[in-house]
Amino acid sequence: MPSQPEIDRRYKNIRAAMEREGLDALIVCGNQYAGFEGAVFYLSGFEIVHRYVYVVLPLQGEPTLVFPREARWIGDKVKPWVKDHVWPDIPGQWIRERGQERGWKRVGVYGMNFIMAVRDFRELANATFELVPFDFQFDMARAVKSDEELAEVRDAMDIITDGFWALVGAYEPGKTEAEIMAPAVERFFARGAGPRMMNILLSGTHGEAEASFKVPGHRVVATDDLLLYSLEITGAGGYWVEFSRPLIRGKLSARTQAMADAYPEALEAARKLMRDGELATNVHRAVSETFAKHGFALGHLSGHSIGATMIEHPAIGAKSEVQLQENMIFSLHPQVVDKDGKVCLYTQDTYRIGKTEGECLADVPWKFFTGKERRSEN
């Protein structure tokens, strides 16, 4: 549970952003989809177990947790610091009526495009007040992490690397993709991640990985299979981190080796630019131009801000003209693809924006792991 000064800091920053946009209130949406629950947790302390919930934060006055009636008995209602709870049949109707009663003119919404339930949007679309998308503004108001938040991020990073080393220890050709993944998930859950994880995989044969993510399954791994487990979790404090390193016991293809040769240069170029005052787009450019020099393109964005929500603004992308600030946290995850978009190499690291350069929060070298390594050796 964050301290009262930390809670007050969050509300102060969010309300300052609301005031700049002329909002009377803010609706923060969250649901069970991995990574979409975090804004509610951040603003109320409620941990979504199933279905969805809203936090309604007026510019002045106390916030309210709005649950759909069918979720009355789902989730620990004692844990959140927001104590005003309601359970209407249709949450959007309750919010619409509350706003009209209080004469709201402009209401911001975090999560209107991807998270808000359709039945609630239909109700709110008929309100007398204007609905204003507020995702970018909300994320920017929480992008610079406090000391309390940074401690939670570092705890999550310790958990994810602990799980990675369990995965390395389990890696053995002849096992299935799921069997190799399982010890990491056990560590994650035991150390407080709960259901807040998304552990997926890029894999393929003959020293190459296919460019599409999948769920680790019952496919038996061969010696020359390349495995790129994408580990994404939170700790008990709800802060997401991401991490990945390649695994292979056998031989890389010439194409994968060519991709690998570009990675150290690209990652270091990005890290050096993850500094206070730099533009996010310049970090992306450093990554993309390095790979382009080696004849490869990026599969998607270089990365994104990360916190209580898995993907937050700003992005590390070609059009992200956002100035970085010290103690922002970013996931850098360049996926390099061949000219046909079928074969890839991928990594993930979580960074803190520093005064003069970025800090990689993982103490694990970037290399191809064989399963023979142990944590004390690196």
More confident: 319 or 205? 205
Q: Report residue 274 as tokens.
A: 């993850």
> What is the spatial distance between Cα 94 and Cα 274, in angstroms, rounded to a whole number?
44
What pLDDT, on a 0 to 100 scale, did the predictor assign at position 360? 98
- For 8, the 3-state DSSP assignment is helix
Question: Which comes out higher in pLDDT, residue 294 or 91?
Answer: 91
Tokens of 368: 């191809």
User: Which residue, chain included where needed, has tokens 């998308």?
Assistant: 133
Task: State the DSSP H helix or E strand holding residue 315, giving kind and residue range, or none if neither.
Answer: strand 312-316
| Domain assignments of the chain as residue spans, ordered by start | 4-141, 147-377
Query: What tens digit of pLDDT does each residue of 227-274 get?
Result: 999 999 999 999 999 999 999 999 999 999 999 999 999 999 999 999
Give pLDDT tens digits for 19-40: 999 999 999 999 999 899 999 9
Which CB contacts under 8 angstroms, 24+ apart, belong to 161-167? 161/243, 161/362, 161/363, 161/364, 162/187, 162/191, 163/187, 163/188, 163/231, 163/233, 164/229, 164/231, 164/243, 164/245, 164/364, 165/374, 165/375, 167/229, 167/231, 167/247
The alpha carbon of residue 314 and the mean position of all alpha carbons in its chain are separated, in whole angstroms, by: 12
Distance CA 146, CA 144 (A): 7
Average pLDDT, the chain: 96
Q: Tokens standing for 131?
A: 């609905």
What DSSP character marks residue 148? Answer: H
- Classify each residue of 146-165 as buried b or exposed e, where b means 16 or more C-beta atoms within 10 Å of its C-beta: beebeebbbbbbbbbbbbbb
> What CATH number was assigned to the domain covering residues 147-377?
3.90.230.10
Q: Who's near 223: CB < 8 A, 6+ residues apart?
A: 173, 249, 250
Give pTM, 2 decimals: 0.95
What is the C-alpha to C-alpha distance for residues 233 and 192, in angstroms, rounded to an integer?
A: 10
38 and 61 Cβ atoms separated by less than 8 Å = no
The pLDDT assigned to 378 comes to: 47
The second-level CATH assignment, the architecture, of 4-141 is 3-Layer(aba) Sandwich (3.40)
